[in-house]
Chain A
Amino acid sequence: MAVATTTAPTASTSGLWSWITTVDHKRIGIMYAVSAFVFFLVGGTEALLIRLQLATPNGTLLSADAYNQLFTMHGLTMVFAVIMPIAAAYQNYFVPLQIGARDVAFPRLNAFAFWLFLFSALFLYSSFVVGGAPDGAWVGYAPLSTQLKEFIRMDYYAIGAQLLGVASLAGSVNFIATIFTMRAPGMTLLRMPVFTWMTVVTSFLLLLSLPVIGVGLWQILFDRNFGTLFYAAQAQGDPLLWQHLFWIFGHPEVYVLILPAMGIVSEILPVFSRKPLFGYAFVVFSGIAIGFLGFGVWAHHMFTAGLGPVAEAGFGLATMLIAIPTGVKIFNWIGTTWGGKLRLTTAMLFSLGFIAMFVIGGLSGVTHSIVPADTQQHDSYYIVAHFHYVLFGGAVFGYMAGIYYWFPKWTGRFLDEKLGKVQFWITFVGFNLTFAPMHILGLDGMPRRTYRYPEGLGFEFWNLLATIGSFLIALGVLLLLINLVKSYRKGAPAPADPWDGRTLEWTTSSPPPVHNFDEIPVVHHVDDFWYRKYGVDEEGRAVRVPEVTGGTVEVEVGGEDHGEAGHDIHMPSPSYFPIIAAAGVVVIGAGLTFSSTPLVGFTLLGLGVIVTLWGLMGWAGEPITKEAH
């Protein structure tokens, strides 16, 4: 093995300070994952309160005001503080490993994006203690979101979502630069793992959709605080503009939530079927097609807004088109498992559950493209059922599969498979108990975002069932939490390649060293690692290549003069400037909520600008690797 020495970062590698100043993509990934899990528990608690309120007719647990805050924060939390960051966690940790890179392109920007995400989410939650949380739904429709000026609640929405968007934007720029310019030699675009491909697509979706809602959120903020008239109908402002701006972001956003999960499932199915992904190029191009079409269907969220028959027909047709690439993917996943040697691990069970649940959610989604039918379903529980089938049964199942699949790489230990399978079945049953009845409730006419319903409308039984199901989901999540804690402490030790994997992250140790790879791998294939381990006999069956054993791979090719052997690997040094800059940006945001008391507002604004500039100046002026100078 070639001698590769890592330039040791100046600070220590353990303790709180090392986490605050870290620029290591793996540690940042773990911090994203932990934060997302904590917010998952918070958002889940909000959901349980909602379900308790609706368990019986005329529920009295919550007031209308509390209910409005809870469902708004549940939506915002699950979208912006759970699914997006858990996707970011996987992307941070595994994209550099999958493309054979030592880190992301901009490690400090990466740290900045994480801290900005965390501080913005905490800022959003601080609204609970200063006058109440946002209560205008996660869609924040104007003029509801612009007119109730006695509260500052929707200011927290406008600023919180804006800042979370900036954090995601920074992450997207980083991933695009990383994936397009830092792949290992031989890793052509069509040799990249599907998860990395889906990261490309989601990064572009975020890059091009976040600025659109960014403009809309500024307009809401200005309307509320500075007297602009963007959405003031009495002054011929057009509230429909907000719906357009929101959904031009909002629809690509739902693909941002689901595509990384599709990527994870596309990694897991081949590994546990011991077959290559069926139609790799089709899966990749379908993902790209979903991304493109995702920008052309936003108005199907607005079929009751009165856009006129031509626009409605056009958007209805475009929505139907989405079913094609999505269907292609589903058939490819089924084709992957067809005739494979299936190993029904927990990760595999969640992946198969993902396919089944996503098909149900996808089919109910296709019904929305029929404009007259959608007019009936609009704002009913049918919609709630649909998007929970794609976002929980789809996305969350995919991310849970990812936890079981990649936990050994994170920690060097397996999650408990027996507990995992129990968790899967409880979550699976609980999920269907909760959300399947909502189809019926919606078709029976129960409106969403309504804090109680009277007796005698036939809603009682299905609502009670949904509430029971939601507590089963909670039990499943609790089991996952127990499993994570237990296995982190004393799970069975995992080798570098515990699942007989196919992609590059399994070639390095579990957990990987700071510099990821002692030698940057050279890639010859899709699933390159698999072909290092296996050849093919005359009948097309995989045969293990004899000289490679037990998942350890000898990457050394030549002598000391080969590649980077003998050179120092310069890893970026820890830096506290990203966290300072992120804190400054959030203080600026906090200042904007005090338009009624300008003194406090301007003080915070000024302080925020100074702190941000301090962070950015220090950042720009400090060398990336301190020892190198």
Chain B
Amino acid sequence: MAIDAVVDQPLEDPSAAIHRTRKTAMWAFLGSEVFFFGSMISTFLLYRNTTLDGPGAEIFNIPFTSASSFVLLMSSLTMVLADHAFGNGDQRQGRIWLVGTALLGTTFLAGQIFEFTEFVHAGLTIRSSPFGSSFYMLTGFHGAHVAVGVLLLSMLVFFSLRGRYDPDQGMNVELVALYWHFVDIVWIVIFTVVYLLQI
């Protein structure tokens, strides 16, 4: 019986190990989120034309939503810059990019609130048709994810300002960045399926 003492994992630096563990967990969580949004997108596709003769996809303001989508996508760039600055140990500059990311996210949310108000005035509510129910549920839950992201970014800025930011803690720029990019990517799918794909 050959005993091959293959040790495939050299004892690594504990700090690197915990980063690896946390990133694995975040990826697993994001995998779960894919199914969460996937179910709501499926629901929306099922009810895409079930408008009960009320307002449907024709009331979307594509130029406006394109602009707010652009704002959200740009926030991924600032998030990368924040992560880069924190990686270099430059927390002061990192904070600026974090605040920028949070502001871009807030702008997107403001755009969504404006848009929802317009749609409600046009007669599209969660009660008007299955189309309305599934539209507001999908975009609303996405908005809630953006809001949670803004909260996480604010917490990072708060911890950093108080000098309590520690990259070995769970509250970590890299993990928040993963989450934030995911929320942006989901929006690309939602924007395509809900707004652009009007057959």
B-contacting residues of A (Cβ < 8 Å)? 105-106, 169, 172-174, 176-178, 180-183, 185-186, 188, 207-212, 214-216, 218-219, 222, 226-230, 232, 235-238, 241, 245, 248, 522, 524-525, 531, 535-536, 563, 617, 620-621, 623-624
Stretch from B20-28, B66-74, B100-108 forming part of the interface with A: B20-28
Residues of B within 8 A of A (CB): 1, 3-11, 17, 20-22, 24-25, 28-29, 31-33, 35-36, 38-40, 43, 46-47, 50, 52, 126-127, 129-130, 132-134, 137, 155, 159, 164, 166, 169-171
B119 shortest CB reach to chain A, Å: 15
Pairs A–B under 8 Å by Cβ, sample size 20: A105-B25, A106-B170, A173-B32, A177-B24, A177-B25, A182-B17, A185-B8, A185-B10, A185-B11, A186-B5, A211-B33, A215-B40, A228-B127, A230-B134, A237-B47, A531-B3, A563-B11, A617-B155, A620-B155, A620-B171
Q: Decide if A185 touches B7 in the complex (CB within 8 Å).
A: yes
Q: A230-B43, A525-B3 are in contact. Are A222 and B35 (CB under 8 A)?
A: no
Known: A176-B28, A180-B24, A215-B40. A531 touches B7 (CB 8 A): no
Q: Is the CB of B36 within 8 A of A214?
A: yes
CA distance A624 to B38 in the complex (A): 35
Q: Given A181-B20, A186-B8, A211-B39, is A238 in contact with B46 using a C-beta cutoff of 8 Å?
A: yes
Closest to A619 in B: B170
The residue that A169 contacts in the complex, of B20, B32, B50, B126, with Cβ under 8 A, is: B32
- CA A623 to CA B166, docked complex, whole Å: 9
Say yes or no: B137 contacts A181, CB within 8 Å.
no
Given that A105-B21, A241-B43 are known contacts, is A208 also in contact with B5, CB under 8 Å in the complex? no
- The residues of A that contact B6 with a CB separation of less than 8 Å are 186, 188, 524
- B21 neighbours in A (Cβ, 8 Å): 105, 177-178, 181-182
State the CA gap A90–B126 with chains docked (Å).
44
Top 8 nearest A-B pairs (CB, nearest first) are A211-B36, A228-B133, A177-B25, A215-B39, A227-B127, A620-B171, A181-B21, A211-B35
Q: How far is the CA of A186 from the CA of B159 in the complex (A)?
A: 38
A173/B133 in contact, CB under 8 A: no
Q: Which residues of B contact A177 (CB under 8 A)?
A: 21-22, 24-25, 28
Determine the chain B residues whose CB is within 8 A of the CB of A105 once the complex forms. Answer: 21-22, 24-25
A215 contact from B36, B50, B129, Cβ within 8 A? B36
The answer to whether B35 and A212 have CB atoms under 8 Å apart is yes
For B131, the closest partner residue in chain A by CB is A229
Chain B residue numbers with a CB within 8 Å of A620 are 155, 159, 169-171
Decide yes or no: A522 and B7 within 8 Å by CB, A105-B25, A177-B25, A236-B52 being known contacts.
Answer: yes
Residues in B neighbouring A219, C-beta threshold 8 A:
43, 133, 137
Contact of A222 among B28, B137, B164, B169 (CB under 8 A): B137
Give bound CA distance, A455 to B133, whole Å.
Answer: 48
Known interface pairs A173-B25, A174-B25; A235-B52 also in contact (CB < 8 Å):
yes
Q: How many angstroms from the CA of A351 to the CA of B161 in the assembled complex? A: 58
Closest A residue, CB atoms, query B29? A173
Best-buried of B4, B52, B130 by chain A (most CB within 10 Å): B130
> A220 vs B50: C-alpha distance in the bound complex, in angstroms?
18
Determine how close the nearest CB of chain B comes to the CB of A395; give it in whole angstroms: 24
Question: How far, in angstroms, from A176 to B28 measured CA to CA in the complex?
Answer: 7
Residue among A181, A218, A229, A524 making CB contact with B129, cutoff 8 Å: A229
For B4, list chain A residues within 8 Å (CB): 524
Contact of A209 among B17, B35, B127 (CB under 8 A): B35
Question: For the complex, what is the distance from the CA of A185 to the CA of B166, rounded to whole Å?
Answer: 28
Given contacts A222-B133, A227-B126, contact A211 B9 (CB under 8 A): no
CB distance from A322 to the nearest CB of B (A): 21
* Residue among A178, A219, A563 facing the most chain B CB atoms (10 A cut-off): A219
Chain A neighbourhood of B47, CB < 8 A:
230, 237-238
> Quick one: which of A176, A212, A522 contacts B25, CB cutoff 8 A?
A176
Q: Chain B contacts of A180 at CB under 8 A?
A: 24
Within 8 Å by CB of B126, from A173, A181, A226, A535, lies A226
A428 to B130, CA, bound (A): 50
B177 → A minimal CB distance (Å): 16
Question: Is B24's CB under 8 angstroms from A208's CB?
Answer: no
CB of B133 within 8 A of CB of A208, answer no
CA A238 to CA B22, docked complex, whole Å: 40
Judging by beta carbons under 8 Å apart, are B43 and A621 in contact?
no
Q: What are the residues of chain B within 8 A of A536 when measuring CB–CB?
A: 1
Question: Contacts A177-B21, A229-B132 given; 4 further ones with Cβ under 8 A?
Answer: A169-B29, A229-B133, A522-B5, A620-B169
CB neighbours of B134 from chain A (8 A):
230
Indicate if the CB atoms of A210 and B1 lie closer than 8 Å.
no
B108 to chain A, nearest CB (A): 22
Cα–Cα distance between A535 and B3 once the two chains are bound (Å): 11
| Closest partner residue, chain A, to B35 (CB atom) | A211
Q: Do B24 and A215 have beta carbons less than 8 Å apart?
A: no
Please, how many angstroms separate the alpha-carbon atoms of A525 and B5 in the complex?
A: 9
CB-CB under 8 A for A229 and B33, given A180-B24, A185-B9, A563-B11 = no
Whether the Cβ atoms of B32 and A207 lie closer than 8 Å is yes
Closest chain A CB from B71 CB (angstroms) = 27
Using CB atoms, name the residue of chain B closest to A236: B50
- B171–A208 contact, CB under 8 A? no
A619 → chain B closest CB, angstroms: 8
Q: Which residue of B lies closest to A231 (CB)?
A: B130
Q: Which residues of A contact B159 (CB under 8 A)?
A: 620-621
What are the residues of chain A within 8 A of B43 when measuring CB–CB? 215, 219, 230, 241
* Cα distance A54–B181 in the bound complex, in angstroms: 56
| Minimum Cβ distance to chain A for residue B72 (Å) | 22
Complex Cα spacing A185 to B169, Å: 24
Chain A, residue nearest B126 (CB): A228
Q: How far is the CB of A628 from chain B (nearest CB, A)?
A: 10
Once the chains bind, are B170 and A188 in contact (CB under 8 Å)?
no
Q: Quick one: given A208-B31, A620-B169, A621-B164, are A229 and B22 in contact (CB under 8 Å)?
A: no
Q: How far is the CB of A219 from chain B (nearest CB, A)?
A: 7
**Assembly CA distance A536 to B3 (angstroms):** 12
In the bound complex, CA of A101 to CA of B33 (Å):
28
What B residues does A186 contact at CB under 8 A?
5-9
A174 to B3, CA, bound (A): 32
Q: Residues of A contacting B3 with CB < 8 Å? A: 524-525, 531
Which of B1, B10, B130 sits near A230, CB closer than 8 Å? Answer: B130
A209 and B20 CA atoms in complex are apart in Å by 25
A620 to B162, CA, bound (A): 14
Which B residues are in CB contact (< 8 Å) with A174?
Answer: 25
| Smallest Cβ-Cβ distance to A179: which chain B residue | B24
The chain A residue sitting closest to B133, CB to CB, is A228
Whether B5 contacts A524 by the Cβ 8 Å rule is: yes
Measured CB to CB, the closest approach of chain B to A168, in angstroms, equals 11
Bound form: Cα–Cα A207–B11 in Å: 29
B184 to chain A, nearest CB (A): 19
* Chain B minimum-CB-distance residue to A218: B137
Residue of B at shortest CB range from A175?
B28
Determine the chain A residues whose CB is within 8 A of the CB of B133 once the complex forms. 219, 222, 228-230, 237
How far, in Å, is B37 (CB) from chain A's closest CB?
8
Chain A nearest Cβ from B48, distance in angstroms: 12
How far is B64's CA from A34's CA once the two chains are assembled, in angstroms? 56
- CB-nearest residue of chain A relative to B6? A186
| Residues of chain B with a CB closer than 8 A to A172's CB | 28, 32
Q: Report Cα–Cα, A623/B169, bound state, in Å.
A: 7
Among residues of A, the one whose C-beta sits closest to the C-beta of B19 is A181
A621 to B134 CA separation, bound complex (whole angstroms): 37
> Closest approach, in angstroms, between the C-beta of A284 and any C-beta of chain B?
18
